[in-house]
Amino acid sequence: MSESSERKPPVDLGIYSRVAADTSLDPADKIALVVSAIWLVMCTAFLAIVGLGGSEELGGLRFLIVVLAVLLPVALIWIGSIAVKSARIMREESERLAVSMDAMRQIYITQAQMAATTMGPNVERKIDEIVKGQKRAESAMAEFATTRPISVPAPSPERPAVPPMAPPTVMDGQPDLALGTPAEMYGTPVSTADFITAMNFPETADDRAGFDALRRALADRRAAVLIQASQDVLTLLSQDGIYMDDLTPDRSKTDIWRRFASGERGPTVSGLGGVRDRSSLALSAARMRQDSIFRDASHHFLRTFDKTLASIADRLSDQELAALTETRTARAFMLLGRVAGIFD
């Protein structure tokens, strides 16, 4: 036999094992043949002993009854044999189809991984940008940890009418959110209402109030870091069909969020990972393992949200903190935080 005829395909899709038709008798046919033979022998013995006696008036009808009594059971036996063979063939074809699907899925995953590793400069450039963004965010957080000025600028007349959620000690307008840092270094401080609205992003393309709040939040460079990180992970999650509006996480009390913001970890704050959607968790966990860009963006977002929450939790009322935890950004934090295990 030549070398080419002995060569086997790299993946068995279930179509290479049929070399020649099997001419041997099927087990179901063997059983049907034996049962038919036994039935015919019994009928022959019965007719030999009893005979065809009876009234001569029946004539040909008696012969027809005898033929039916002998052949009809035999026909039913072979019909049952054919049904058994058909069921077995269908089961084998189903198994072969399942093997083929698994093989094609493995090929697709392999090709996707190879494409991800061969994207070259684009991937490296993206990773470098994420690393630089992380360094800038961490340096900004470190500087913010030592300086927390509080300023209350007068609200501008063009701002949308947002229901105030400021502490009662503030007399004019909403207080600025303590994403602190001097205004000359990090832009205009953002108000609490605008920050919470920006964390949820505009509802639609016509949500003018949402876009105005987002624009004002982006003017505060500290808030802009978290908004950009949130936008990155929300975009990446949408590529897998994961949208925050489809998630309904379990609500946690505000005091649990405050404990988490103060650095507490373990069973007392594990309820913050309230996302129960198995499909979203499985897809996110798989991509976290396989996609380095998604993993880096997720970790950057989790660190940024964690540090920002720790810096502003004491300045938020319970209503403001509850509103913040209902935003799309907070839901992404719950989902990715549970996948990364930061609530354990």
DSSP string, 289-318: HH-HHHHHHHHHHHHHHHHHHHHHGGGS-H
* Cα–Cα distance, 293 to 141 (Å, whole number): 23
Q: Are 247 and 275 in contact (CB under 8 A)?
A: yes
Tokens of residue 200, six digits: 């949820």
In this prediction, residue 4 carries a pLDDT of: 46
* Cα–Cα distance, 324 to 198 (Å, whole number): 10
**CA 177, 166, 173: angle at the middle one, nearest 5?**
85
Tokens of residue 241, six digits: 């069909």
In this prediction, residue 48 carries a pLDDT of: 79
In this prediction, residue 150 carries a pLDDT of: 36
Q: What is the largest CA-CA distance in the chain?
A: 123
In this prediction, residue 175 carries a pLDDT of: 53
Sign, CA torsion 325/273/268/343: negative
**Three-state secondary structure call for residue 220:** strand
CA distance readout (Å), 75 to 26, 79, 127: 17, 6, 73
Query: Which residues, given as ranges, of the chain have pLDDT below 70?
Result: 1-23, 51-60, 114-128, 131-187
* Cα–Cα distance, 148 to 220 (Å, whole number): 14
In this prediction, residue 57 carries a pLDDT of: 54
In this prediction, residue 174 carries a pLDDT of: 52
**Three-state secondary structure call for residue 191:** strand
From the list 283, 294, 158, 133, the residue with the least C-alpha distance to 213 is 158
Q: What is the pLDDT of residues 243-283, one digit of tens each?
A: 888 888 888 888 888 888 888 888 888 888 778 888 888 88
In this prediction, residue 300 carries a pLDDT of: 92
* Torsion, Cα of 255, 258, 264, 270 (10° steps): 60
In this prediction, residue 161 carries a pLDDT of: 32
Q: What is the pLDDT of residues 286-306, one digit of tens each?
A: 888 888 899 999 999 999 998
Reduced to 3 DSSP states, what percent helix, strand and coil does the chain have, rounded to the nearest 5?
Answer: 65, 0, 35
**Three-state secondary structure call for residue 334:** helix
* Cα–Cα distance, 69 to 74 (Å, whole number): 9
Using a 10 angstrom Cβ sphere, with 0-12 exposed, 13-18 middle and 19 or more buried, the burial of residue 260 is buried
When computed from its CA atoms, the radius of gyration of the chain, rounded to whole angstroms, is 37
From the list 233, 230, 220, the residue with the least C-alpha distance to 140 is 220
**Three-state secondary structure call for residue 187:** strand
* Cα–Cα distance, 298 to 232 (Å, whole number): 9
